[in-house]
Amino acid sequence: MTIGRRHHRYYDLLLTAFVVVLLCSNFIGAGKAAVIHLPYFGNFAFGGGVLFFPIAYFFGDVLTEVYGYSYDRRAVWAGFAALAFAAIMAQIVIALPPAPGVYMEKYQQGLETVFGNSWRIALASMMAFWCGSFTNSYVLAKMKILTKGRFLWMRTIGSTAIGELIDSSLFYMLAFYGIWSTQQVVEVALAQYVLKTSWEVLATPLTYFLVNLLKRKENEDYYDTHTNFTPFRVKV
């Protein structure tokens, strides 16, 4: 265990990747309810954001495991700032009067359809991910201390299962209640939770590989023994 804080070579790269994934999950896939047909089970509805969002939790697990809770907290706030900026700029672009012409008229309609609800999606995402991500990181950090750094698979899957339950429940109710039918909101939220948690299970070998690689490269394996777990700060 490394005591003290110092500069890390790869933390900024992970933080940037985390923010990009978070933006993609909220502005590319979150607003689409897709459906696939599964043999013996019938149609299975899910949100398009499931293609991106579990990766954000994957980064959260890696950041907490290697660098500690405070570094993941800093990444979460960076993601929130990016989401807020993107949502504000989307509303400004939509509000700008379109140039005359059939193409611009249809283009404006498309923008309003895709990004018109972005403010609500962004707010819902920020609230849900704030609660879910910090819960995930807190549980993982505490379990690392209790298990003395053993059983990484149990810590990543267990913390994700708890964090994703909070996140999925809050996000779809806040973002799409009244827009989608209540049944669809519940179905998609449940599907998201199952898919996201299952993704964490399947990604366990990759998690082990990346965590062990970063611990060697960074010479860091932080334990949050004396960490202030308040989410209301960005200092590491």
pLDDT, tens only, 144-199: 999 999 999 999 999 999 999 999 889 888 988 888 888 888 888 888 788 888 98
Residue 162 maps to a domain: yes
Residue 142 maps to a domain: yes
Residue 229 maps to a domain: no
Q: How many domains does the chain have?
A: 1
> How many CB atoms lie under 10 A from the CB of residue 100?
8
The pTM score is 0.85
User: In whole angstroms, how far apart are CA 203 and each of 58, 197, 200, 213, 236?
Assistant: 8, 10, 5, 15, 27
The pLDDT value given to residue 54? 80
Structural domain range at position 31:
11-218
**What's the CATH number where 195 sits?**
1.10.1760
pLDDT of 119 above 50: yes
Residue 117: pLDDT band by 50, 70, 90 thresholds?
Answer: low
Name residues whose C-beta falls within 8 Å of residue 133's C-beta, 6 or more positions apart in sequence.
Answer: 56, 57, 60, 72, 76, 163, 167
Task: Decide: residue 1, CB within 10 A, 0-12 exposed, 13-18 middle, 19+ buried.
Answer: exposed
Residue 234 maps to a domain: no
Residue 2 maps to a domain: no
Query: Mean of the pLDDT values across residues 12-29?
Result: 87
Residue 122 maps to a domain: yes
Residue 153 maps to a domain: yes
Residue 225 maps to a domain: no
User: Tokens standing for 134?
Assistant: 């910090």
